[in-house]
Amino acid sequence: MHTVTLSGTDQHFPVGKIVCLGRNYHDHIRELGNELPERAVLFMKPASSIIGNGETVVIPGYSHDCHHEVELALLIGRGGKHIAEAAARDVIAGYGVAIDLTLRDIQQELKQKGLPWDIAKGFDTACPLSDFVPAATVADAQNLQLTLSVNGIVRQDATTALMIRSIPRIIAEISAIFTLEPGDIILTGTPAGVGPVVSGDRMTATIAGVGTLDIGVR
């Protein structure tokens, strides 16, 4: 079982499901040539895909195109079904930094065939995750700078203000489908600048005021 920690507290959460949002930043939709979705594009990663700061992503042998996607992660502290947007902030225990590793070649192939993407998104090590900072320490989660560099070169640099669906909207939409439970994690989508990493690379993902992830690639 995987557990995440709320920094500066004695609270630990066994991780339940990790619900991820796709296509939540215009520039990223454009760079992949995707359409703006009417309904939220949702998928899940298993808790077994989590690794922590300082650990290493292992690219599976069935892919030759593994992409980084830096994302703001939400830790659910209080569960619920049909959570209203106005109440959404009350269910967030903390914020963290995540990298949604994606096997782009496998994802494209499966999408074209109309098949599920799980093996492109949920493989072991596909979800590097920082410790979480308590929600109360983040003044405005909808205005945070997120960056990701590979070997010291900045690839992604944007702000959470550019999200298409706001954080409360994301929680409302997800909880209308999946009951949220304490220890669930939500990945809120990635801005533009996604690209490949290869064995030997080093990724540094930072969200100002939230944390940093330093992750190797093998």
- Binding residues (CB under 5 A) for Mg ion: these are 69, 100, 190
CB of 130 to Mg ion, least distance (A): 16
CB of 87 to Mg ion, least distance (A): 25
Nearer to Mg ion, 69 or 131 (CB): 69
Per DSSP, the three-state class of 112 is helix
Q: Residue type at 90?
A: D
Nearer to Mg ion, 125 or 190 (CB): 190
Nearer to Mg ion, 100 or 131 (CB): 100
Q: Are 29 and 69 in contact (CB under 8 A)?
A: no
CB of 10 to Mg ion, least distance (A): 31
Residue where the block lists tokens 């994690």? 185
Beta strand pairing call for 145-150 and 56-57: unpaired
By Cβ distance, which residue is nearest to Mg ion?
100
Return the structure tokens found at 149: 């560099």
Nearer to Mg ion, 6 or 205 (CB): 205
Residues near 25 by beta carbon (within 8 Å), at least 6 away in sequence? 158, 162, 163, 164, 189, 190, 191, 192
CB of 24 to Mg ion, least distance (A): 8
